Structure 1
């Protein structure tokens, strides 16, 4: 029997990590297997019309997506036969998401996929189960399986929020903060409460306390939205009691989205922080027929260079499915400037913000005067204070709606885009002009592009509610309209803000009434 290496599955030893132990061969783990899409060419043709923003490009229903472009029944059967052969059991199968979750002992998975699993230790990632080299599949699964996720469980992403430091640097004595309602007023959000809509929020750890949410919404004088916790792959709502940890992210996302769309259902998909968990949670949000989110907010990500090619492709495929069924996905572009915190002296963009199927959300620093924006510039609070992520993707080509655009360098000079430009839009993100929230019982001020994704998601939910139908994949329409407040001052390290689109704040911050008209 010939074994074929799975394209893009190669892993190298993470710099700075060392093997500390062999894995216990009898330990039981779960692995997510992703299968190819049926009618792939037909799907690609359909997506071209959606990506071009063609009039009359109708999104599919979730049912149509499964029937026409789900997994082939015979592919699922082949994978199940392979699993049975290796003593692996099927925990869950989803033809529409094209995923099958397998459970078994480590020794069974090692034999099935021709890998060696070991425990590694890394200064920032901690201890994780990992592997090196490629995953292999037999003849009958060659070309059928597109990704095998979860053999390696290293932390994949980081949350993009920053709590305002208690001390104030001298230059920032004008620090201020806003409630989501004040920002909705400054950004001229249209009337509406998200009635009839569901906002999906993806979280890789932590949790929320209902008491925090109740006291927050009552302090703002808005009704508490219905919040539903959806556990993915044995995870759930598990607050840690540490506002500096993932609880800060979870609570920030729910409080912003809920304050601005209090009549919407907020479905929070909790999973583990690994590539398998991340991809599976986004997939469950996209394909969820119970809650049916019309917009999804993702405030987690990692530099493109930190993803394997198979993981990036698997998540991008899920985001493409979201666009196909008219679900808008808002993703934070990162809080570490044009380097995305990599520290190799080069520029990097954050994924999934760099996927061409999301609305990538960058950050600004905002000063209000009464009910109007007095001054808004690129968020850049210096090397320790954080700055908006943005730049040019090394993984995705220039999408149709960004053709002809260029980046402006902070040192001067312009260059035509050579890949997908990030971000698309922006909003208030500096912790020095941040959001008033309540986390783990404490009133605190949080910023980061994490706040911008739920801000835009709530705007979209309001528009969807008023329209009575989802606006769907919004990028082509937004790039044709002038519906944003153009940010022309500041830089995020390598890139400068300029008139029109730029690699710091995209098209700019929302003018909600104009965004609603454009969509």
Structure 2
């Protein structure tokens, strides 16, 4: 049987990784295989309408998506035949999400996909299972399989939150806000999101019910219904360390829940690997039990650390979300225009750079009551964090960004050569951050992580009042000049804020009432 490399599956060693051992050949692992869509051409035509904001672009139901554009029975059968030939078990199959999870030993997977797996050690990633080179597939699966994820389990993404450092006298301007105060400053429309579900994606950590109860009661808000959904080997496992992923999980739930307490909140917990991340977002998009109408993602990584197969598979899931009218809000990153990559270049964060998400950047805010007195790009200096933003090196300029340009700090304006990030913004500096309770302590947190659930809660309020999801919002927001507070001061490193869209804060921070009218 001849085999060919799966396009985009090549893995490189992360600089600084070293091999510490051969993997134990008998160790049991699971791998997620992503299959192609039925009727790809029809789907592309539908997406063109949705991306253009065409008035007749009706979103599909989850059921229609599965029937018309799920995986074909024939493709699933081919993969199962391949699995049984290599004595791999089918753990789970989901035709609507086009995924099949296979289980088996490392030895079986190495033979099935022609790969060598080793244990690696890396100073920041710790110990992980990895591979180099490409994955190979037999001829009859060529074009059928889009991605094979999970052979490599290196940590894929990082959370985008920052806990405020201890008080410094020099920074006497520190203030903080509750989510409700921000909803008021940003003129969010009335409503509590009732009838909606907000999906939140988490790659580790957990929340404690006692934290949520005491937080919502301190705000005088009825506690929302929160459910934990375990994906693959994930689950709600608080670590007791507020600086770890617990900070991310609790922040996301508390912000979304405070602003939209009438909505239910489904938290999808998974492992921090590309397979886990993609599978959790897919589970949220296709979830027919909780049915989230908006999804908040506060994790990401520079485009440069993703394989092409992972990015394409993830982007496909985000495209499905747009097709069924689910709004996805993603944090644009906390490390300014280089996204924490030290190669001297500019980078954007993915999944924020996908054209199918609402990418959320950061500002630094002052104000009280319903009046914002001062709002600039979030940039607290080299170690303090700054709004992620820039130009994608992977995705083309979407229809709704055509004709826009990014302004550099030296005043040069360049027409966009790729998808511009972010689309919108909101308060993100830890120095003007959010009051939350994490692992029993009152703390102030910032980061673009806070902006994704802030926008998700706004969308949930709008959906609740409208009685229908607003769906893929980007074309409408870009058309509705003035729905956001334009941020014209500050920079995120290489890019500067200007009138109109910019690569620091996008269209600006929300004027909730105007956003509701535009959608």
Please give the range of the TM-score, normalised by the shorter of the 2 chains: over 0.9
Matched-pair contact (CA < 8 Å) for 2:184–2:369: no
2:211 alignment counterpart = 212
Q: What does the per-residue CA deviation read over 1:52-94, in whole Å, with 9 as the maximum and x for residues that have no partner?
A: 0001210000000000000010000000111011010001000
1:78 alignment counterpart = 78
What is the CA-CA distance between 1:303 and the residue it aligns to?
A: 0.1
Q: What does the per-residue CA deviation read over 1:125-178, in whole Å, with 9 as the maximum and x for residues that have no partner?
A: 1110000000000011111000000000000000000000013262x2110000
Q: What does the per-residue CA deviation read over 1:296-339, in whole Å, with 9 as the maximum and x for residues that have no partner?
A: 00000000001000000000000000000000000000000000
Within the alignment, does 1:145 sit opposite 2:157 as a pair? no
| Corresponding residue pairs, total | 518
Distance 2:414 2:245 in 1: 38
Matched-pair contact (CA < 8 Å) for 2:377–2:490: yes
Q: What does the per-residue CA deviation read over 1:156-207, in whole Å, with 9 as the maximum and x for residues that have no partner?
A: 000000000013262x211000000000000000000000000000000000
Matched-pair contact (CA < 8 Å) for 2:120–2:127: yes
TM-score, structure 1 as length reference: 0.99
1:58 alignment counterpart = 58
Within the alignment, does 1:518 sit opposite 2:494 as a pair? no
| Corresponding residue SS for 2:470 | coil
1:225 alignment counterpart = 224
2:450 alignment counterpart = 451
Q: What does the per-residue CA deviation read over 1:107-131, in whole Å, with 9 as the maximum and x for residues that have no partner?
A: 0000000000000011111110000
| Pairs within 5 Å for 1:23-172 | 23-168=23-168, 170=170, 172=171
Distance 1:293 1:397 in 2: 28
1:177 alignment counterpart = 176
What is the CA-CA distance between 1:46 and the residue it aligns to?
A: 0.5
Q: What does the per-residue CA deviation read over 1:269-310, in whole Å, with 9 as the maximum and x for residues that have no partner?
A: 000000000000000000000000000000000000010000
What is the CA-CA distance between 1:369 and the residue it aligns to?
A: 3.2
1:12 alignment counterpart = 12
Distance 1:410 1:487 in 2: 15
Distance 1:102 1:476 in 2: 38
Q: What does the per-residue CA deviation read over 1:406-463, in whole Å, with 9 as the maximum and x for residues that have no partner?
A: 0000111100000000000000000000000000000000000000000000000000
| Corresponding residue SS for 1:148 | strand
TM-score, structure 2 as length reference: 0.99
1:472 alignment counterpart = 471
Matched-pair contact (CA < 8 Å) for 2:228–2:235: yes
| Corresponding residue SS for 2:21 | strand
1:317 alignment counterpart = 316
Q: What does the per-residue CA deviation read over 1:469-510, in whole Å, with 9 as the maximum and x for residues that have no partner?
A: 000000000000020000000000000000000000000000
2:249 alignment counterpart = 250
What value does the CA root-mean-square deviation take over the aligned residues? Answer: 0.5
2:500 alignment counterpart = 500
1:261 alignment counterpart = 260
Matched-pair contact (CA < 8 Å) for 2:296–2:453: yes
Within the alignment, does 1:483 sit opposite 2:493 as a pair? no
| Pairs within 5 Å for 1:230-241 | 230-241=229-240
Distance 1:242 1:378 in 2: 30
Matched-pair contact (CA < 8 Å) for 2:390–2:420: yes
Distance 1:499 1:276 in 2: 40
| Corresponding residue SS for 1:513 | helix
| Corresponding residue SS for 1:454 | helix
Runs of at least 4 residues off by over 2 Å: none
| Pairs within 5 Å for 1:328-477 | 328-477=327-476
Shift of the 131–364 alpha-carbon distance from structure 1 to 2, 3 Å rule, reads same
Distance 2:431 2:313 in 1: 37
Distance 1:254 1:292 in 2: 17
Distance 2:346 2:79 in 1: 40
Matched-pair contact (CA < 8 Å) for 2:78–2:141: yes
What is the CA-CA distance between 1:234 and the residue it aligns to?
A: 2.0
2:287 alignment counterpart = 288
Distance 1:497 1:348 in 2: 17
What is the CA-CA distance between 1:371 and the residue it aligns to?
A: 2.3
| Corresponding residue SS for 1:195 | coil
Distance 1:252 1:56 in 2: 38
| Corresponding residue SS for 2:506 | coil
2:22 alignment counterpart = 22
Q: Which range is displaced more, 223-232 or 366-375?
A: 366-375
Question: Structure 2: any 5+ residue segments left out of the alignment?
Answer: none
Distance 2:448 2:151 in 1: 30
| Corresponding residue SS for 1:367 | strand
Matched-pair contact (CA < 8 Å) for 2:181–2:369: no
Q: What does the per-residue CA deviation read over 1:13-47, in whole Å, with 9 as the maximum and x for residues that have no partner?
A: 11110100000000000000000011001100110
Question: Structure 1: any 5+ residue segments left out of the alignment?
Answer: none
